[in-house]
A and B are shown apart, each in its own frame.
Chain A
């Protein structure tokens, strides 16, 4: 195959595997926002906690996959606790929920520094090596990550579309008042989305760990990408989030590969700003941002 095509495909693959992580985070953001109208800005810190918890469990047990198995329920628990302790009191005033999440950033990040020190931690996932497909190197771990994301998002989609729970959830998203009148336990459903959204961040955290390097400050990287994806996909729209996540990952990877990595963030976020100015409710369409 033409070398240029190979290089391009390599960048695209790298982008897709990274974008899958963004899609996962964005799906959680979209779910939580869709139901509670709360911008949960501490989601980056949830990803970071997922990564550190997975790392600690892995270091302690020597079992790589046990990290994932523990990180997900641990993050679900954090989601439950934060919803019960604070977010449920902010449902009437979403801006309050947003500010609460800013407070959580300080708390979670500080706690992570206390426990794990501010220093970067490296990890070398046991699943090493790559498959060579026509000259394009598919990192095994990245392929596994992608498969997990596809499976998880497909599961989310099926639950949302096919189950009674999913129907209730969509009903609450459309019109909480009407849903309550139909006997749907609105508050419980909202709580559940916080749990699910945090658990998704936990999976994403474990994947971030497989990428190599983590610090307690990586949250900011992922929160902005997560929200950029959720916004472009249209808040409240899971399929949109999946597509936009892959799109952002690929765009980033191509920008880094062809223009140089240093300015990637500036290009990507500049593009995000422009896209949102052009289509304020996202490319795929979504709900209007509520007034602050």
Chain B
């Protein structure tokens, strides 16, 4: 029984710890970085779920994240929507976008599909740039929503918004955890491991893949929404494939099969350059190097290292 609920308790405990962080009287800058890291970890968790569980990789994840952000921004600027009332739009649109991106995977697979997702992402970027009357074109949108509170927390307040974001993250991670451990999770991993065998056992691979993409899209859209209300100003160049590579890096850093991998990954991604005082360009180079090293030497991610070390120790004991 305990082993069944332990992972959920783990997520809640981690969330509780994150909620207590502001008590440490951290600087405003650290709180901002932490907020960004949590938002990234939510978006990356969507990709991590898709890649780690169903084995599907997409380079359009950043575009779907962008669709969530744009929906929130356009909603605030043109339609008078606020933090809460824009949610159905940002999540709904990104969910649909996620499912649409999955459609080619029903016809193609492997390399062809990954490159297609890249092309789709580029098309979305062009649309964001060209639909100037709605998206503001290359300059993007600056949306300054009015003062608003959620459960007594100010959406515009630095510490308050951090708490809001952590709250959403806990909910998302709990849902993903439940899905990973569900019957559906078993089906997804089966599709990842052997698609033909899944079909021969009666699994509707196309349908489940579509749902998985839609879910990943909705999670990315939620994160994009949170991102928009965090930075309050967005432009197409924020959501290019470059960001998809960053999400991929974040997932890979932590470990793609671990639910909490994206948290480790995004904390490393956001805070390490800050502590080392690296310029954005230098940290980009450094993370490129880290990405290459990780995929070659520790493809299971940082979270797989303790397990691997244990296994190696055990093997050594056996031979000794």
Total number of A-B contacts with CB less than 8 angstroms?
A: 131
- The 0/1 profile, CB within 8 Å of B marked 1, for residues 84-107 of chain A is 001001100011101110111111
Query: Nearest-CB distance from B125 to chain A (Å)?
Result: 8
Q: Chain B interface: which size bin?
A: 35 or more
Establish whether residues B126 and A292, one from each chain, have CB atoms under 8 Å apart when the complex forms: no
A contact residues, total (Cβ < 8 Å): 47
| Closest Cβ neighbor of B241 among chain A residues | A220
Which residues on A sit within 8 Å (CB–CB) of B252? 99
Establish whether residues A39 and B285, one from each chain, have CB atoms under 8 Å apart when the complex forms: no
Establish whether residues B288 and A106, one from each chain, have CB atoms under 8 Å apart when the complex forms: yes
Q: Which of A11-19, A223-231, A245-253 contacts B (4 or more CB under 8 A)?
A: A223-231
Given contacts A99-B252, A100-B295, contact A106 B245 (CB under 8 A): yes
A276 within 8 A of B: yes
Q: Which of B32-40, B104-112, B142-150, B216-224 contacts A (4 or more CB under 8 A)?
A: B104-112
Which residues on B sit within 8 Å (CB–CB) of A272? 119
Query: Nearest-CB distance from A142 to chain B (Å)?
Result: 25
Establish whether residues B115 and A39, one from each chain, have CB atoms under 8 Å apart when the complex forms: yes
Which residues on A sit within 8 Å (CB–CB) of B116? 273, 276-277
Q: Considering the complex, which residues of chain B in the window 158-205 have a beta carbon less than 8 Å from any beta carbon of chain A?
A: 195
| Closest Cβ neighbor of B56 among chain A residues | A292
Establish whether residues A292 and B119, one from each chain, have CB atoms under 8 Å apart when the complex forms: no
Establish whether residues B288 and A96, one from each chain, have CB atoms under 8 Å apart when the complex forms: no
Given contacts A224-B118, A265-B122, contact A103 B112 (CB under 8 A): no
How far, in angstroms, from A118 to B281 measured CA to CA in the complex? Answer: 10
Which residues on A sit within 8 Å (CB–CB) of B240? 220
| Closest Cβ neighbor of B117 among chain A residues | A273
Which residues on A sit within 8 Å (CB–CB) of B296? 86, 89-90, 96, 100
A181 within 8 A of B: no
B49 within 8 A of A: no
B8 within 8 A of A: no
How far, in angstroms, from A95 to B11 measured CA to CA in the complex? Answer: 31
Q: Which of B114, B245, B282 contacts A292 (CB 8 A)?
A: B114
Q: Which of A59-67, A109-117, A189-197 contacts B (4 or more CB under 8 A)?
A: A109-117
Query: Nearest-CB distance from B318 to chain A (Å)?
Result: 27
Q: Which of A110, A114, A269 contacts B119 (CB 8 A)?
A: A269
How far, in angstroms, from A118 to B127 measured CA to CA in the complex? Answer: 24
Given contacts A110-B288, A269-B119, A277-B107, contact A102 B55 (CB under 8 A): no
Interface centre among A99, A220, A224, A227 (most CB of B within 10 A): A99
How far, in angstroms, from A272 to B104 measured CA to CA in the complex? Answer: 12
| Closest Cβ neighbor of B283 among chain A residues | A110
Give me 22 A-to-B residue pairs in the complex whose CB atoms sit less than 8 angstroms apart, sorted by A's number: A39-B115, A94-B111, A99-B291, A103-B289, A103-B292, A106-B287, A106-B288, A109-B284, A110-B288, A114-B285, A228-B115, A228-B119, A269-B120, A272-B119, A273-B104, A273-B116, A276-B112, A276-B116, A280-B108, A289-B110, A291-B109, A292-B109
- Show the binding face of B for A, using Cβ within 8 Å: 55, 57, 104, 107-116, 118-120, 122-123, 126-127, 130, 195, 240-242, 245, 248-249, 252, 281-282, 284-285, 287-292, 295-296, 299
